[in-house]
Amino acid sequence: MANLTKTNRRDFLKIAATASGGLFIGFYWSGCDSPKMKVLTNEEILLNAHNFNSYLSISPTGDVVIYSPNPELGQNILTSFPMVVAEELDADWQKVRVIQANLDVEKYERQLTGGSGAMPHSWERLRKAGATARHLLVAAAATKMNVNASTLSTSNGEVIHKESGKKMGYGELVTDASKLTAPEEVTLKDPKDFKIIGTPVKNVENKNMFTGKPLYGLDFYREGMLHAMIQRPPFGMKIKSVDDAAARAISGVTEVVTFKNNVAVVGKSTWPLMKAKKLLKIEYEPDGVVESTFDHDRLFAELLNGKTAEVKRKDGDVDAAFKNAAQVITSEYQCPFLSHSPMEPQNFFAHVQGDKVELVGPTQTPDRARNDTAQLLGIPPENITVQITRLGGGFGRRLRADFVVEAAELSKMMNAPIKLTWSREDDMTGGAYRPAVRYRFQAALDESGNMIGYKLRGVGINAGNSTRENNFPSGAVENVLIESVEHKSAITTNAWRAPITNFLAYAEQSFLDEVALAAKKDPVQFRLDLLAKAKASPVGELQYDVDRMIGVIKMAAEKSNWGKDANVMQGFSVYFSHRSYVAQVANIEMENNQPVLKKIVACTDCGIVVNPTGANHQVRGGIVDGMGHAMYGNLTFENGLPKQKNFDTYRLIRMKEVPEIDVHYVQNGIDPTGLGEPALPPTGGAVANAIFKATGRRLRSQPFIEQKEFSDIKLQIKRA
């Protein structure tokens, strides 16, 4: 937005909305290389641009505008999607502008951010979008040059006739090309010819982010809008009485309104609302079962030993295997609730006018935002527009649309445009957490240390299926029983980055470390032996690709010098999630008799790496996320209310608490399989297994710092 200097401060984001419905994203450092050259605004470019498809417009100046449909929350999709289009177009990346598309269910499928699925889903679509336009530009050039299209090639925004040395820029061809009929099938590039994919293209929003431009939902202001904040009830409670006199007395508060067990304070700016909300006197009474963390600990014990469980998988004869076992290993692992806590708290703008609604804000699921609002108001979804702002993090919390619906409901009640802001405390106490889960693992070993039986029962609080029954080690063991028990609670839960596996992987990989020790086998070899079995004679259904898993294990062993240095205590972990494979090794060295975590080595198979900078961000970020929450994260409840309400008591990992992270990728040319989540699950296991190796203390619950086994361990973290 370097060229949009004269923005009206009361309407920051709207000024950037285009006729074709999107936000402009320019990424030129203003006046960078040639300050005297006139840089066209996006409006100027689009005025004469020809639209080729949902993703792509090209102007006669040769400027290329690429629309990126999926919400950007830090996974770098706003840069990597356009890279794929530009690659097949053979565009000059310096002439590419990127626009975040608004919700458009006609133009785009799966316009959401979740499940590490955007790139796997869109990879071929994006390539075809670029390749189709390239094909038409070449056809137009063939006519103009009066040569056969097969004699032409493209590079850097130009069509080239090698024989004559003639070149034509895409801008010169675009008017003719856009009149041609697009072919049904186009040839895509051989990946070895990629020039943009696989290179560290910088984030297209760098300049805007680093100069403080309005990008995020909270940065959206509209002339005449009202601000709103909501006090929500503790889980399992309902409002008995409300005394809002003190809140109303705050200067700047225009209205206090009670709806659906919520009390909203409305006014002209944010601060008076924050003050007023604290002055609300609300009495609550139970509305069903009101739970505390203490109750959950008791529930876990009961349900793990209970008679009823949903059988998710059963192979062979588990009872016989355990009866005949030379050795049985049993362990339980538990994790607490976690808050998503994106740095930008939940917020949304809504303007309901009759049966039309305008929605603007940070959502991972714009379609759900639209549909839930339509349902609330009883209007057709087509009457609602959704403008997607940049998201200040998501981690799964913004898959829900509760905050969107709240904003829409308030806008209707107030008959005014509303910006709803959740305070940090609202964000942490307002629900939809990573569910708390307890697992019991059991392994049966024969006399040679082979795992002949494997049992897992997971008990989760609003976790749904707390297992991943067709994931490793299923398929590698003859006799398997996997069960899940669900406890329904008033405490709301939701997908949290790498749902279920964010904790299951740690528990399973720690348990397998225990089993390998009991079997007197090296932890890496133990896993490889199981996979050899899964490859040679797989048992039942396997969700994972055995060779890809073996590949990352072997690579991690090699890159980490596994077992080669007696002074380095190593912990191993490997996990398959969201189509990709990540193996990790944590290295601990003892200094003054205390463990020092020096490094985590991560080897990833996510297929083709579209943008190495973005990929490294996702791997390192996932590891920091996994380690931070394993070490410190804990959300506990008292009478339906979280005890931790802000970052003073809910501890997030900080810079000095992260080790060096060494990142490697398997180069196998497979189409991209997703990377927003897969690096997170293995981390807790790698760290816990290294801590065990170094100290003999097995950490079976998170967060580590609150476990008695960890109480006298001073884990230091040192970076090179």
Partner 1 sequence: MANYNLRINGNDYNVEVEDDTPLLWVLRDHIGLVGTKYSCGIAQCGACTVHVNGEAAFSCTLPVSSIGSDEITTIEGLSSEGDHPVQKAWDEVDTAQCGYCQAGQIMTAAAFLRKNPKPTMEEIENAMNRNLCRCGTYHKIREAVALAAKLK
Residues 213-232 that bind partner 1 (CB under 8 A): 213-216, 218-219, 221, 227
Residue labelled with tokens 């999709």: 77
Q: For partner 1, which is the closer residue by CB, 76 or 689?
A: 76
- Per-residue contact flags (x/-) with partner 1 for residues 508 to 547, judged by CB under 8 A: ----------------------------------------
- Per-residue contact flags (x/-) with partner 1 for residues 375 to 394, judged by CB under 8 A: ---------------xxxxx
Decide if 658 contacts 624 (C-beta within 8 A): yes
Q: For partner 1, which is the closer residue by CB, 364 or 702?
A: 364
SS3 content of the chain, % helix, strand, coil (to 5): 35, 25, 40
Decide if 583 contacts 681 (C-beta within 8 A): no
- Per-residue contact flags (x/-) with partner 1 for residues 185 to 204, judged by CB under 8 A: ---------------x-xx-
**Least distance from partner 1 to the Cβ atom of residue 695, Å:** 25
A 10 A CB-CB count for 289 gives 12
Residues 9-28 that bind partner 1 (CB under 8 A): 9-10, 12
Distance CA 696, CA 161 (A): 69
**Least distance from partner 1 to the Cβ atom of residue 35, Å:** 10
Q: For partner 1, which is the closer residue by CB, 169 or 272?
A: 272
**Least distance from partner 1 to the Cβ atom of residue 33, Å:** 13
User: DSSP readout, 511-571?
Assistant: HHHHHHHHTT--HHHHHHHHHHHHHHS--S---S-HHHHHHHHHHHHHHTTTT--TTEEEE
Distance CA 464, CA 478 (A): 26
Residues 591-610 that bind partner 1 (CB under 8 A): none
Q: For partner 1, which is the closer residue by CB, 6 or 307?
A: 6
377-414 as b/e: b if 16+ CB within 10 A: bebebebbbbbbbbbbbbbbbbbbbbbbbbbbbbbbbb
Q: Which of residues 47, 246, 343, 590 is near partner 1 by CB under 8 A? A: 343
Q: Which of residues 50, 278, 424, 559 is near partner 1 by CB under 8 A? A: 424
H helices within 280-324, ranges in order?
293-305, 318-323
- Identify any residues that bridge with 205 across adjacent strands, giving them in sequence order: none
Q: Which of residues 620, 693, 697, 698 is near partner 1 by CB under 8 A? A: 620
Name the one range near partner 1 by CB under 8 A: 467-475, 528-536, 553-561, 641-649: 641-649
Name the one range near partner 1 by CB under 8 A: 139-147, 149-157, 210-218, 471-479: 210-218
Helix (H, G, I), strand (E, B) or coil at 224: coil
Conformation bin of residue 415: beta by default, left when phi > 0, alpha when psi is -120 to 50: left
Judged by CB under 8 A, the number of residues near partner 1 is 72
DSSP 697: -
Residues 426-485 that bind partner 1 (CB under 8 A): none
**Least distance from partner 1 to the Cβ atom of residue 210, Å:** 5
Name the one range near partner 1 by CB under 8 A: 67-75, 161-169, 238-246, 350-358: 67-75
Name the one range near partner 1 by CB under 8 A: 160-168, 265-273, 594-602, 694-702: 265-273
- Per-residue contact flags (x/-) with partner 1 for residues 655 to 674, judged by CB under 8 A: xx-x-xx-------------
Q: Does 646 bind partner 1 (CB under 8 A)?
A: yes
**Least distance from partner 1 to the Cβ atom of residue 340, Å:** 9
Distance CA 388, CA 192 (A): 35
- Per-residue contact flags (x/-) with partner 1 for residues 25 to 64, judged by CB under 8 A: ----xxx---------------------------------
**What's the burial of 573, exposed, middle or buried (CB within 10 Å: 0-12/13-18/19+)?**
buried
Q: For partner 1, which is the closer residue by CB, 336 or 460?
A: 336
Residue 484, both tokens: 């899940």
Conformation bin of residue 484: beta by default, left when phi > 0, alpha when psi is -120 to 50: beta
**Least distance from partner 1 to the Cβ atom of residue 232, Å:** 17
Q: For partner 1, which is the closer residue by CB, 374 or 680?
A: 680
Closest CA to 4 of 72, 101, 23: 23
Distance CA 177, CA 481 (A): 60
Q: Does 179 bind partner 1 (CB under 8 A)?
A: no
Q: For partner 1, which is the closer residue by CB, 227 or 313?
A: 227
**Least distance from partner 1 to the Cβ atom of residue 100, Å:** 13
Closest CA to 138 of 129, 147, 125: 147
Q: Does 345 bind partner 1 (CB under 8 A)?
A: yes
Q: Does 6 bind partner 1 (CB under 8 A)?
A: no
Whether the upstream peptide bond of residue 381 has omega within 30° of 0, thus cis, is no
Q: Does 621 bind partner 1 (CB under 8 A)?
A: yes
